[in-house]
Chain A
């Protein structure tokens, strides 16, 4: 088993090198007893920019670069953060919730470039290119980073799950419920769709959220604190352990490095690098 290492720690701080400590109510159910109301740390997003630097934010006040000084101030009117994408300190995107839906704001040279509100699921970026993914439909729009206008629209299959971009291709795990099968769908930039189903129940059991993809198009997943990846022939390789991980915080780098965040006396970005 591979052990996780700490890549960087961001302190709780109101200063520009840290994140201000933030909590939010734990999701309450439809029925809440007073003794059940509690506050939990706000979830932290971690992203890697085009230069390989790591950025973290919990959606309030700022994003902070790990390892060397740098931060991005978030607008005062930022709503609950749904997604972020970072190309550089001066080029980045924020997706937050507003009354009308999901709002994407893209920044170039540190200034607002464009804004769209719509039915967006995620905001993706790769080498300066920008994609918005429809939440209740199959469309993925590649947008002009300067204007926000769609330059190309591709359609994913209706059974394809959360998308990831690797080298300009869109990867997702698909679920064929009738066949009881999961697999990987790749959408090429020209819209060509390739699907590779995995046989057996083990990949099916593993490939539920949270997942990620490496540059070889292999999906990674976390289950009960263990990390595994699924090979092209459908073998599940259980290779590491992330402990008590909040499941929405997993990221996978193209080189297969699994990133996750541990919140305690600061925000620690931890890494699990798998062999092969």
Chain B
């Protein structure tokens, strides 16, 4: 039997990530004692208490706690793992016990998002890849940064004014109807949040910028790259560049007619067919049995301001497939 690659599950882009390859034995999925759980317990209760508990656990089956690990849910889409299933994992308990003052308390929804992102990452690993103990703090940071972007978009609901983009805007950005385009390529100033004019993906990018997750330089780099692509190919080259530059990881499709369909996680980028069609940001919630998004467009309520709506509502006015993925800021 050949040796499997051994990957330390750390969020991509995390500056504090340790070496990607490790040589320690992988943790077996579903083992009774999770290393992360033990470490958290040590931090929370101290070595003596941990040793006592583990010792009792070995001696007395009556006090043995039924344990679960995130790896038990591998090959399940993270949106299909229930809150209750996540809350039962060692990793969830470790995350909830991990923050010590003055660090901010870990909220349950943050821990769940961190674990869903970790699970998505694990599911996207190449077959045969196994993993070492997870960098839970790193996944928590990623969850918080994604949530911050979504929160900025949610906070902007009722503001802004949607305008469409076309090749005319890219080729003459100083006279674009989009404040965001003027800012990126036309020498304009940072737009005012309350009145910013822009299109759907510009709302998403501006939210990430305001949340501190993407820099002005990086956004301008993307727009400049798109401008060059438009010059070379025209047509849909600009939105195709935006789509490619903001994509991280695998692409998923949400089908409202299919029970068990993958659903976007909080902070995922959602597109309708292509970025040229429509781009929105997932809140991670279901409302009325529908998947909630923050959208900047006219449909479905003739509203040119940023609004909270659902994928299902937008599908009354436009067509799918509805794709989503983790953003790359």
Residues of A within 8 A of B (CB): 27-34, 79-80, 82, 97, 102, 136, 158-162, 173-178, 180-182, 201, 204-206, 208-210, 223, 247-248
18 contacts between A and B (CB under 8 A): A27-B298, A28-B164, A29-B276, A30-B275, A30-B276, A31-B239, A31-B276, A33-B166, A33-B235, A80-B301, A80-B302, A102-B301, A161-B290, A173-B289, A175-B290, A181-B259, A205-B257, A206-B257
User: What are the nearest 9 A-B pairs in CB distance?
Assistant: A175-B289, A80-B302, A180-B259, A31-B276, A30-B199, A30-B200, A205-B257, A31-B239, A29-B277
Does residue B127 face the partner (Cβ distance < 8 Å to A)?
A: no
From the candidates A30, A173, A182, A247, name the one contacting B239 in the complex (CB within 8 A). Answer: A30
A201 to B256, CA, bound (A): 12
Q: Do A33 and B256 form a contact, CB below 8 Å, given A158-B287, A208-B312?
A: no
A158 to B308, CA, bound (A): 15
In contact, A247 and B316 (Cβ under 8 angstroms): yes
From the candidates A30, A180, A204, A248, name the one contacting B165 in the complex (CB within 8 A). Answer: A30
Closest-CB distance, B59 to chain A (whole angstroms)? 38
Q: Which of B287-329 contact A (CB under 8 A)?
A: 287-290, 297-299, 301-303, 308, 312, 315-318
Chain A residues with CB below 8 A from B164, complex form: 28-32
Q: Do A29 and B302 form a contact, CB below 8 Å, given A158-B288, A159-B288?
A: no
Identity of the chain B residue whose Cβ is nearest the Cβ of A160 in the assembled complex: B288
Chain A residues with CB below 8 A from B235, complex form: 33
Chain A residues with CB below 8 A from B165, complex form: 30-32
Identity of the chain B residue whose Cβ is nearest the Cβ of A102 in the assembled complex: B301
Closest-CB distance, B237 to chain A (whole angstroms)? 10
In contact, B316 and A209 (Cβ under 8 angstroms): yes
Closest-CB distance, B105 to chain A (whole angstroms)? 26
Closest-CB distance, B16 to chain A (whole angstroms)? 34
In contact, A174 and B257 (Cβ under 8 angstroms): no
A182 to B316, CA, bound (A): 19
Q: Mark B191-203, 1 if CB is under 8 A from A, else 0.
A: 0000000011100
A32 to B289, CA, bound (A): 31
In contact, B258 and A27 (Cβ under 8 angstroms): no
Interface size on B, residues (CB 8 A): 42
Chain B residues with CB below 8 A from A205, complex form: 257-259
Chain B residues with CB below 8 A from A80, complex form: 301-302
In contact, A34 and B260 (Cβ under 8 angstroms): no
From the candidates A30, A136, A180, name the one contacting B277 in the complex (CB within 8 A). Answer: A30
Interface of B is mostly: loop
Does residue B263 face the partner (Cβ distance < 8 Å to A)?
A: yes
Chain B residues with CB below 8 A from A82, complex form: 301-302
Chain A residues with CB below 8 A from B318, complex form: 27, 29
Q: Do A209 and B82 form a contact, CB below 8 Å, given A33-B166, A161-B288?
A: no
Does residue B186 face the partner (Cβ distance < 8 Å to A)?
A: no
In contact, A97 and B259 (Cβ under 8 angstroms): no
In contact, B302 and A79 (Cβ under 8 angstroms): yes
In contact, A159 and B238 (Cβ under 8 angstroms): no
Does residue B286 face the partner (Cβ distance < 8 Å to A)?
A: yes
Chain A residues with CB below 8 A from B256, complex form: 208
Identity of the chain A residue whose Cβ is nearest the Cβ of B303 in the assembled complex: A97
Closest-CB distance, A190 to chain B (whole angstroms)? 22
Identity of the chain B residue whose Cβ is nearest the Cβ of A28 in the assembled complex: B164
Name the residue in B164, B200, B279, B308 with the highest tally of chain A Cβ atoms < 10 Å from its Cβ: B164
Does residue B236 face the partner (Cβ distance < 8 Å to A)?
A: yes
A30 to B274, CA, bound (A): 10
Chain B residues with CB below 8 A from A209, complex form: 312, 315-316
A161 to B278, CA, bound (A): 23
Does residue B167 face the partner (Cβ distance < 8 Å to A)?
A: yes
Identity of the chain A residue whose Cβ is nearest the Cβ of B239 in the assembled complex: A31
Closest-CB distance, B299 to chain A (whole angstroms)? 5
Chain A residues with CB below 8 A from B167, complex form: 33
A117 to B290, CA, bound (A): 24
In contact, A30 and B257 (Cβ under 8 angstroms): no
A209 to B278, CA, bound (A): 20
In contact, B286 and A34 (Cβ under 8 angstroms): no
Name the residue in B276, B288, B303, B315 with the highest tally of chain A Cβ atoms < 10 Å from its Cβ: B288
In contact, B166 and A27 (Cβ under 8 angstroms): no
A152 to B189, CA, bound (A): 50
Name the residue in A32, A79, A80 with the highest tally of chain B Cβ atoms < 10 Å from its Cβ: A32
In contact, A160 and B289 (Cβ under 8 angstroms): yes
Chain B residues with CB below 8 A from A177, complex form: 263, 286, 289
Q: Do A204 and B259 form a contact, CB below 8 Å, given A29-B276, A33-B235, A178-B82?
A: yes
Chain A residues with CB below 8 A from B288, complex form: 158-162, 175
A121 to B236, CA, bound (A): 35
In contact, B286 and A159 (Cβ under 8 angstroms): yes
In contact, B278 and A248 (Cβ under 8 angstroms): no
Identity of the chain A residue whose Cβ is nearest the Cβ of B165 in the assembled complex: A31
A226 to B4, CA, bound (A): 51
Chain B residues with CB below 8 A from A161, complex form: 288-290, 312
A213 to B50, CA, bound (A): 59
Task: Given contact pairs A201-B259, A223-B257, enumerate 12 new A-B contacts (beta carbons under 8 Å).
Answer: A27-B317, A30-B279, A32-B166, A34-B166, A159-B286, A161-B312, A174-B289, A175-B286, A177-B263, A204-B258, A209-B315, A247-B316
Name the residue in B82, B166, B236, B263 with the highest tally of chain A Cβ atoms < 10 Å from its Cβ: B166
Closest-CB distance, A208 to chain B (whole angstroms)? 5
